Amino acid sequence: MPAVYDKKNILVTGGAGFLGSHLCERLLAEGARVICLDNLISSNLNNIEFLLKNPEFEFIKQDISLPFDPELFPELERFKIKFQGIQEIYNLACPMNPKLFEQTRMQTLFANSLGIKHVLDLALRYKAKLLHASSSSVYGPRPTDNHLLKESEIGCVDMHSPRSAYDEGKRFAETVCRTYHDVHGLDVKIARIFRTYGPRERLFSGEMIPDFILNALDGKDIEIYGDETFSTSLCYVTDVVDGLYKLMSADGDLGAVNLGSDLDQPILQIVQSILEMTGSTSRVVFQPPLTFMTPLGLPDLTKAKEKLGWMPLVRMDEGLKGIIDYTMAHKNLLMASFNPAVQAPQQTAEGGSPIAPLN
């Protein structure tokens, strides 16, 4: 029988990112002790600043593409890792900045290879459950018939495309996870996350919704990277976090599980809703598509509904209101923390990076 502790020690890699910060907040609310690893290459300390005074939370600036030992950090002594170990690991580590994608291709490669190995080795050491955040991109481009994507679909990805370090990298990371499960009996969960939006998304990175709202509030042009036909699925961040939590808590081997919205949302329609909700008179202009912002398919949510009892609950109008209210309340802070000059980290001779690609 495994030992029972009053509080779980949970490690979240990429925990200072958009999704990671919401996950850390949820885990603390559920009564866990949370160790947040991030290097801030595509994240921001502002996302977790309100958590830093919580004695059950600790932030470590760390590179997962290099080996790391949590027992060597003196700031983690109160977690008693040598005695208790780590019970759960959520791996959310990977760059997610569409406009800086070309500059972080090597870091993306490391996160999906060296990084996932180091995280899995840590899970194996402590016999921890591990949830890996994969992506809808493993399915490849949107199907021509727009059918909903089941987890059983093999998908098709061009391994030589400009974005293959992410797409093929996520597929490889799933293979590594599955191999550790088969060979070592490790309890591994895989979440295939579709596009997510909500408070704390990065500004001016090509992630659409936060930029739309900020420009609408300022009366500036709203840029859509695509044409009038561009549509996508969008799931509110708290719904996705709830799905991750339920998946980690699930018994048995479920294989990969889709988490996202199965509703196709025309981007132009979302922009028009934002204009109405903010009373803005901003113009809408169309720009050439970004390499990383391509039309992706929509998820079949049958497995999530039947096995996890999960489905997205936040309607688009509620979600947009939430992020609009957040942006209005934190606009000055968001602008002050935005740094357009962020560059990709320099590589080391060993093939690692001094700063890891955590999101």
Instruction: Select which of 166, 180, 197, 236 is catalytic.
Output: 166
Q: Copy the structure tokens of residue 302.
A: 């049958």
Distance CA 7, CA 64 (A): 25
Residue found by looking up tokens 């609009």 in the block: 324
Q: Quick one: DSSP state of residue 199?
A: T
Task: Judge contact between 273 and 267, C-beta under 8 A.
Answer: no
Give the separation between CA 56 and CA 73, rounded to whole angstroms.
15
The count of other CB atoms within 10 Å of the CB of residue 325 is 13
Q: Are strands 188-193 and 231-232 parallel, antiparallel or unpaired?
A: unpaired
The SS3 assignment for 218 reads helix
Please say whether the beta carbons of 26 and 50 come within 8 A: no
Query: Is 197 an active-site residue?
Result: no
347-355 own/partner pairs: CB under 8 Å, 24+ apart: 347/106, 351/110, 351/114, 352/63, 352/65, 352/66, 352/110, 352/114, 353/63, 353/65, 353/66, 353/106, 353/107, 353/110, 354/63, 355/39, 355/41, 355/63, 355/107
What sign results for the dihedral spanned by CA atoms 141, 236, 64, 62? positive
Amino acid letter, residue 109: L
Q: Give the position of tokens 């803005």.
A: 280
Q: How far apart are CA 175 and CA 285, in angstroms?
A: 41
- CA distances to 21, 56, 60, 114, 354 from 350, rounded to whole Å, are 31, 35, 23, 12, 10
Q: Which residues are catalytic?
A: 166
